[in-house]
Amino acid sequence: MARILIAWNQTDEDVTTWWRRDGRRTPDWDSAKVVDPGDTVEEEMALIESALVDVGHDVTVVNIRDSLDVLLDAVERIRPDAVLNLVEWFHDDIAHEYHLASVFELLGVPYSGARPLALALCQNKPHAKALLAAAGVPTPKWRVVENVAAIGELGLSFPVIVKPAFEDASGGIDAGSVVGDRAALDARVAHVVKEHRMPALVEEFIAGREIHCAVIGNAPMQSLPLFEMEFKDAVGDDGRTLPRIITYRAKWDPFSRDYYAVESRCPAEVDDAVAARVQEIALRACRVLGTRDYARVDLRLDPVTNQPYVLEVNPNPDLANGCAFAQCVRASGRTYANALVEIAEMALERGKAAARPPAPSDALLHEYLARRGAK
């Protein structure tokens, strides 16, 4: 039995709680649809806790509530053998995700998921794409634009998609994100820079199928059965025809039209050769950016050649019971609980390895350095 601390962070009331309190069951635009807004984050944590308790671990769940003191106190009090690190935000700043991982590094506490460098690289989409391209991993052509005056000649083919360069979880992506000419590009870049206060990432739009590849493990790193986002022809809440993309509302708002314009399929019905190519590229992308334990790679297929292009790499993806990662896990033959235990045990193994005596060669080196320092 091991002591495991599940660390997560939430200060505001969960949006699912709001919906339940309001008694909302149908969207305003279609009274025939019955909406299930899903579990609250607290309920998701309870499911994860149960999976680890069921295999005999001593588990403590702590919402750190934007307090480093709460986190440090929990580590001091519990003395965990490993932390299941589910902290994605701190003080409403996603950049602190890798800072929190750095705290565990400095404390010498084994923890699940990616290390700080991988988290930082994957949050910075332009840097991640530059590293992928340099390593020969196919990714759509792109440019970073600071403002409209800096657009100039991009050397990209329309249509393009315009995203905030450092947002996460489809933040800043809506029906107007895909543009087909220079005037629309100028307007969209101006919108992104103003609304999100960051540069815009302008990327050639790959119009084909969107495939997600979940990855678990380290040595070896294993790709799971593929997950596909299937798009319908639909109009969004703003009245515009939705491009075939995952908007922010499609991902997070079950009362929106966007949400119902996308369906998922797992495993994806993909030709074996194409699937193998997708999985091979996904594993390469994870190795280039240094993910650990588990990840999800989002890709698009060229509609003519089926060439896969990496859109982004997601270290520490959502572990909620109904999310894409969980669906891929089940398609692989694992249960949801199996996968959670597997992820926790990777962190526990790192803790055991760190506690082992140094190998003989290391011991000799330590002795040499000690003697040298004594002179």
As a whole number of angstroms, the distance between CA 356 and CA 375 comes to 29
| Contact status, residue 299 vs residue 310, Cβ threshold 8 Å | yes
| Torsions phi, psi for 129 (to 5 deg) | -65, -35
As a whole number of angstroms, the distance between CA 324 and CA 75 comes to 31
195 CA to centre of own chain:
23
DSSP state of 19: H
Spell out the domain ranges in the chain: 3-113
Assigned CATH class of 3-113: alpha beta
As a whole number of angstroms, the distance between CA 43 and CA 23 comes to 18
Render each residue's pLDDT in the chain as its tens digit; 375 residues. Answer: 899 999 999 998 888 888 888 888 899 888 888 998 889 999 999 999 999 999 999 999 999 999 999 999 999 999 999 999 999 999 989 889 999 999 999 999 999 999 999 999 999 999 999 999 999 999 999 999 998 988 888 999 999 999 999 988 888 999 999 999 999 999 999 999 999 999 999 999 999 999 999 999 999 999 999 999 999 988 887 888 889 999 999 998 999 999 999 999 999 999 999 999 999 999 999 999 999 999 999 999 999 999 999 999 999 999 999 899 999 999 999 999 999 999 999 999 999 988 766 555 556 556 655 665 655
Whole-prediction pTM value? 0.92
